[in-house]
Amino acid sequence: MAVETTDLLRDLQANYSRAAVSRIKYLTRRASEEEVVEFVNGLIVKSAEAKYNNSWEELERFLEEWETVMIGRVAGGMKFPESSGVPWASLTKPIDQCRIALVTTGGIYTDGQDAFEPADDVSYREIKKGTPQSAIHVSHRGYDISGPQEDVNCVLPLHRFDEFEQEGVIGSLAETAYSFMGLIRDATILKDSSEEVAKKLKANDIDAVFLTAT
């Protein structure tokens, strides 16, 4: 029986968009044939041992090691802005007095707004406080968007922060959240629109910003 090693992982490629394989999927594009063989052999042995010993921790560690190596290779192929130090601002008041704004790169948009381009789209969408789940849409080819399509709070926590405001955990949630779409190969092209959003936040007296990347 002759099997091409790359065929071994074909189903993983077919399942590319599922959240559970989102960290290991890079094996299909980033591993050599020798590594694929090593991975599959290791997977068989570790799975069998896990079942035999009723202990899944070794299998989990095995998967995490491979995820880490492959994700590292993906990052190695990306372009980042030249580092010029880390900017820093300090909180000026306690969290329960802060006006907090939300920002995400999860590709969220709402009824009446345009979807994002498939890649390298530097535009952003303004998401109003109180937007119900039924008005939320997502366009992002880099991850399994079924999460925020079902519950936006796993990416953009609009409703969790509404609750925090009502409970007095934070001072208030800003009227507007901002969503970018993070599938951008060269992060430097985001400079202008990032600065535009920063100015809007400043003009609205925002005390702190909670961001998520997907």
Partner 1 sequence: MVASAIEAIGIPTVLVMMFKEVAEAMRPPRVAHVRFPFGRPLGEPGNVAQQRVIIEDGLNILVENQVPGTIVDLPYRWKREDYEAILAQRSKTALKA
Binding to partner 1 by residue 91, rule CB under 8 A? yes
Instruction: Quickly count: other Cβ atoms within 10 Å of residue 77's Cβ.
Output: 9
Binding to partner 1 by residue 59, rule CB under 8 A? no
Binding to partner 1 by residue 2, rule CB under 8 A? no
Strand (E) or helix (H) holding 91: none
Amino acid at 149: Q
Site for partner 1 in 137-176 (CB under 8 A): 140, 142-148, 150-151, 153-155, 157, 160-161, 164, 169-170
Site for partner 1 in 11-30 (CB under 8 A): 19-20, 22-23
99 pairs with which residues across the strands? Answer: 172
Cβ of residue 5: shortest distance to partner 1, in angstroms? 25
Both tokens assigned to 64: 């995490």
Cβ of residue 178: shortest distance to partner 1, in angstroms? 8
Cβ of residue 26: shortest distance to partner 1, in angstroms? 10
Both tokens assigned to 101: 């704004």
Q: Do the Cβ atoms of 26 and 36 come closer than 8 Å?
A: no
By CB under 8 A, how many residues form the interface with partner 1?
66
Q: Do the Cβ atoms of 50 and 62 come closer than 8 Å?
A: no
